[in-house]
Copies of this chain bind each other. A is one copy, B any other.
Amino acid sequence: MEKRRKVGNPLALAVLAWLMLEPMHPYELGRRLKETEQDRSINYNRGSLYMVVKQLAKAGFIAEQETVRDTQRPERTVYALTEEGRAELYDWLRELVAQPRQEYPHFGVALSLLSVLPPEETAGLLSARLATLTGQVGDIRARIAQAESEGVTWVFLVEEQYRVTVLDAECRFVSELIEELENPDYIRTWKEMFGSRT
């Protein structure tokens, strides 16, 4: 099924991908991640980046190429992709595309414990969520439109498209849920069952 990767952090995938283009030093990798806003889909922070780079080097997927001291800034180590690294990138990417994996979204956790909260309050909380959610959908749509108008090809926006699709579905779900929670029958039942716990 699912392969046990030597380096499992998604950041590593991005590193491999960037090194396909040319050798780079870690800081530069980080800069590009932010610049291209890939940090929207990959949880980026500098500490982890250096860690991941070290792991990749140890695993033989990238190799130290040279250490330069350009100006008098701290030394920067430039890494290059190895043949194995290239292979890993493709293999990993294929797996990610082809095989869905069990995700654990935060909202799912909340839902699995929803009966704990009183229905009326929950409905209110969900309305707040819905508002934020619709806001986000709007933002992303705008962002996509903007990028398109600048001539960005759709492949580079596909992941934002995905985001809207999912958010949109969540919006519909939340709306329906609110209605169910406001159903007086349910409110009564809930009070009978759980109302005692204050």
Chain A contact residues, CB within 8 Å of chain B: 10, 13-14, 17, 20, 38, 41-43, 89-90, 93-94, 96-101, 103-117, 121-122, 125-126, 128-129, 132-133, 136, 153-156, 158-159, 161-163, 165-166, 168-170, 172-173, 177, 180, 186, 189-190, 197
Report the separation of the CA atoms of residues A173 and B129 in the bound assembly, to the nearest whole angstrom. Answer: 23
**Oligomer copy total:** 2
A110-B96 in contact given A17-B116, A166-B170, A172-B165 (Cβ < 8 Å): yes
Set of chain B residues within 8 Å of A186, measured between Cβ atoms: 155
Set of chain B residues within 8 Å of A162, measured between Cβ atoms: 107-108, 111, 170, 173
Report the separation of the CA atoms of residues A55 and B54 in the bound assembly, to the nearest whole angstrom. Answer: 30
Set of chain B residues within 8 Å of A100, measured between Cβ atoms: 107, 129, 132-133, 136, 170
Contact assessment for B104 and A117 in the assembled complex, using a CB-CB cutoff below 8 Å:
no
A20 CB to closest chain B CB (Å) equals: 7
Q: Which 9 residue pairs spanning A and B have beta carbons closest together?
A: A169-B169, A96-B110, A111-B159, A98-B125, A41-B108, A97-B125, A112-B159, A41-B112, A165-B173
